[in-house]
Amino acid sequence: MTRTYRIGQIVPSSNTTMETEIPAMLRLRETIRPQRFTFHSSRMRMKKVVKEELAAMDAESDRCALELSDARVDVLGYACLVAIMAMGHGYHRVSQARLTQRTAENGGRAPVLTSAGALVDALRVIGAKRVIVVAPYMKPLTELVVDYIRHEGYEVIDYRALEIPDNLDVGRHDPARLPDIVKSMPFEQADAIVLSACVQMPSLPAVAKVEAMTGKPVITAAIATTYAMLRELDLEPIVPGAGALLSGAY
| CA distances, 146 to each of 43, 81, 150, 164 (Å) | 26, 12, 6, 17
Active-site annotation holder among 18, 126, 182, 198: 198
Catalytic pick among 11, 46, 76, 80: 80
> Is 198 designated active site?
yes
- CA 71 to chain centroid, in Å, comes to 22
Helix (H) or strand (E) holding 78: strand 75-78
- Contact assessment for residue 9 and residue 41, using Cβ atoms and an 8 Å cutoff: yes
Residue 64 bears catalytic tag = no
> In angstroms, rounded to a whole number, what is the distance separating the alpha carbons of residues 46 and 16?
12
CA distance 236 to 221: 19
Q: Determine if residue 94 is left, alpha or beta; phi over 0 gives left, psi from -120 to 50 gives alpha, anything else beta.
A: alpha
Catalytic residues: 80, 198
